[in-house]
Homo-oligomer: A and B are copies of this chain.
């Protein structure tokens, strides 16, 4: 099953609301189960460089079905996945990418958020993910 555009918009709206609440302009991307872009929004004034990062975080989260920050722990020097970021035309492996599941627990897509500190990015992504039921 794929995330629908309606679900994607629900996630983006929730993420956007949380971003406004914490006062950071975010880029928010949603990919589907095939890791293909489904929806995207750049809040006014959000970093231009975070357009690509938000999309790559969403892709990365779905590529490996885990939070991007988890991959980042494994891609450090000396760790098992060192420099995995070179694959897939560029991964982003710090926090802000989160898989999205349906009510059965099946992954239907992922959300990627970029524009603030990585903890903020992850908080907003999680909030958006939780809005999808």
Chain B positions within 8 Å of A87 at CB level: 49, 52-53, 56, 90, 92
Interface residues as binary, A47-87 with B (CB distance below 8 Å gives 1, 0 otherwise): 11111110010011011110000001001111011111111
Copies held by the complex: 4
Other-chain contact of A82, B9, B72, B117 (Cβ < 8 Å): B72
Check B40–A40 contact: CB distance below 8 A.
yes
User: How many residues on the A side are at the interface (Cβ–Cβ under 8 A)?
Assistant: 55
Q: Is A91 an interface residue (CB 8 A)?
A: yes
Other-chain contact of A77, B51, B64, B76 (Cβ < 8 Å): B76
Q: Is A127 an interface residue (CB 8 A)?
A: no
Check B85–A83 contact: CB distance below 8 A.
yes
Check B78–A76 contact: CB distance below 8 A.
yes
Chain B positions within 8 Å of A51 at CB level: 36-37
